[in-house]
Amino acid sequence: MVATAAPLVAQGVMLVTLLAMRRWAFALMIVPSLIGCAAMLLVRSAQPTATGPDPAQAPSSAVGTPHADDGSDDAARFGLIRPSSLERLLALERGDDPLPWRTIARRWLEPGSLDVPVGMGEDGEFRLDLAGQGPHALVAGTTGSGKSVLLQSWCLALACRNPPDALRFVFLDFKGGSAFRALEGLPHCVGSVNDLDLGHAARALHAIEHELRRRERLVAHGRAQDVDGLREPPPRLVIMVDEFHALKDQLPDTVDRLVRIASLGRALGMHVVACTQHPSGQVSAEMKANMTLGLCLRVRDGMQSTELIGDARAARIPPSLPGAAYRADGETVRAWRCAACADIPRLTDAIATAARFHGCVPPPALFTAPLPRRLATLPAVRAGAGMPFGLKDDGMTLAVAYLPVDRGNIGVIGQHGRGKTNLLAVLARHLTETPAETPVAVRFTSRDARGYRTRTLRPIGPASRARRYDATGAGGPPRPPRAVWIVDDAGPLFDPFGDDPLCAELRRALDDHRTTVVFAVETSRHVRIPDHCPFRVVFPTADRAADLMNGIPADLWASMGDDMTSPGRAALIGRGCAAAVQCVLDRGR
């Protein structure tokens, strides 16, 4: 009562003072407040006087009545939710289905869907729809809360519902690869990396961005609003990222690619599921704006929970309930428990068998591992593509590297001991051992203490393939024999003041379109580029200025990193293109 009467008395004194000073306007302003305080005093005085607080209720009144969103009711319900295995949800338990691949193959005959069961809720089966509730999801949970199990079960449920022709996965695991290692055998997997090889992870993000641009071109070319409007839409691509905060810390310059996918992925059939321990401060606001589906397992503090589901209830999930989580889809917040897979190898084998039954062609890898430091053999080569000499890396995938001996001279530039002589030996061996439609004259010139020595190499091939012409020309118009001259340690022969007889011969051969000269030099000081060699294999020196002068682009030089000094590592430079290569070892050594 005193607390209510004090403002009334103070305002009464102020009103009297203003009237005495004849401040009529200010006095009128005090009147409404004075009337309100008087009315409140009358209401309070009409209420019965309390005899005192109930001791039993004192702690409750001191703490306050629990709010509806404090999670106390939902936390109690976790104990009422009946846990289940993923196999039971998918009707693939051993007792019910001894051959689960048949059930999976039958489901793949139905239209694909991203709406799959992943656990149990208060009302029974709990489902997640990445397309309808997403298109992207943010998963939060501390260590031991069940994040990895959730991601595994979600991926397996999606794979059991959709064939590899309709859905594919990319796994980015930044806690050593343990979360997705068991899922790499899925036929849906087109790439998996971890933080043990950051270079490989950067390639994956680069490949994902390249796939984004490819889908943009498909939609633009098909004049459609999204990929679903195309006549042959590409498969849905789900990018699973475990420990997103580690990705941001270790590769800060590349994480923006995932942000771009989050903003454009809905129309392009690309989905990002980012998992982190700290959603607050680790995931940018721009990325969160496109992640309408939030899954929050147990977190350490209420701020992390509030960031994802709007209140602190996930911080009160007991550690004894791994897999307990809340789902916030922008409309409601529901409590549920994740269903763990009892036998992941059995389920992945069943999915792989179903893919073979459907005749699914294994999808090409979205990205590959980086170039090896040592290359002993080459994979299958294409006939007529040129001379294979190594593996080429375009920043995402590896392919056999070829040298076009019929399109101009080839320069091999590099310091001693980097692999120039080995490369020339590989090319010579290929020319002599591969059958040719027309005879090719091959010469090999090398240098020792006594000077240059030249020997002629004879190609090996069926005599029937060599064209024969008679004097009358009945066999067709004669073709001039093509010559390939391989010159090792050719630096002194390019010296304009050189007096060796081979200097003039080399200059004539460089200008002869019927002869391809493949020469090796330690420096390009006297080599006219591109007049003398439109194609070059440059072994970097790790000196940026020298390597740029030899023709290695700045961005390629930066991407080669520490591997540029490895034996056999080089840059293949041609007309308008450049790529890192690893040269194969000569089998004769």
> Tokens 């793949």 sit at which residue?
108
143 carries a ligand binding annotation: yes
Establish whether 330 is an annotated binding residue: no
Strand boundaries in 195-290, DSSP class E? 236-242, 270-276
Q: Does residue 392 have a known ligand-binding role? A: no
User: What was the pLDDT predicted at 203?
Assistant: 86
Annotated ligand binding at 454? The verdict is no
**Both structure tokens of 217:** 């071109």
Structure tokens, 279: 């959603």
Strands 440-448 and 482-487, how do they pair?
A: parallel
Q: What is the CA radius of gyration of the chain?
A: 37
Gap between the Cα atoms of 340 and 83, Å rounded: 9
pLDDT in tens, the chain (589 residues): 555 566 777 777 777 887 888 777 777 777 777 787 777 777 666 655 444 444 333 333 333 333 334 445 555 667 777 788 999 999 998 877 788 999 999 999 999 999 999 999 888 899 999 998 888 999 999 888 889 999 999 999 999 999 999 999 999 888 766 778 889 999 999 999 887 677 788 888 889 999 999 999 999 999 999 998 999 999 999 999 888 877 777 777 777 778 888 888 888 999 999 888 887 777 777 777 888 899 999 988 888 888 888 888 888 888 888 889 999 988 888 989 999 999 999 999 999 999 999 999 888 889 888 889 899 988 877 776 788 999 999 888 899 999 988 888 999 999 988 999 999 999 998 888 877 666 778 899 999 888 899 888 865 444 434 333 333 334 444 444 578 999 999 999 998 888 888 999 999 999 988 899 999 999 888 888 888 889 999 999 989 999 998 889 998 888 887 788 889 999 999 888 899 999 999 876 5
What's the per-residue H, E or C state across 472-491?
Answer: CCCCCCCCCCEEEEEECCCH
Alpha carbons 120 and 184: distance in angstroms, whole number = 26
Is there a binding annotation on residue 148? Answer: yes
pLDDT at 179: 78
CA dist 520 and 454 (Å) reads 15
Q: Residues, the chain, total?
A: 589
Helix (H, G, I), strand (E, B) or coil at 252: coil
Whole-angstrom CA distances from 179 to 189, 193, 323, 493 are: 14, 11, 15, 59
Report CA dihedral (22, 24, 27, 31) to the nearest 10 degrees. Answer: 140
Distance CA 569, CA 171 (A): 29
Closest C-alpha among 459, 425, 413, 469 to residue 439:
459
**Whole-number Å distance between alpha carbons of 527 and 494:** 7
Is 141 marked within a binding site? yes
- pLDDT score at 25: 75
Tokens in use for 444?
A: 């090999």
Which residue carries 């103070």 as its tokens? 10
In one-letter notation, the amino acid at residue 135 is P
Convert 402-437 to b/e letters by CB count within 10 Å (16 or more is b).
bbebeebbbbbbbeeebbbbbbbbbbbebbbeeeee
Given this model, what pLDDT does residue 82 score? 79
Q: How many C-beta neighbours within 10 Å does residue 245 have?
A: 17
Question: Phi-psi bin for 358: left (phi > 0), alpha (psi -120 to 50), beta?
Answer: alpha
Is residue 200 helix, strand or coil?
helix
Calculate the alpha carbon distances from 319 to 70, 305, 357, 558 in Å. Answer: 18, 15, 43, 47
* DSSP line for 518-563: EEEES--TT--TTTT-SEEEE---S-HHHHHHTT--HHHHHHHGGG
Token couple for 25: 């306007």
How far does CA 2 lie from the centroid of its chain? 68
Phi-psi region of 64 (alpha: psi -120 to 50; beta: other; left: phi over 0): left
pLDDT at 100: 92
The dihedral region occupied by 462, where left means phi > 0, alpha psi between -120 and 50, and beta the remainder, is beta
Neighbours of 543 (CB within 10 A): 11
Residue 481 pLDDT: 54
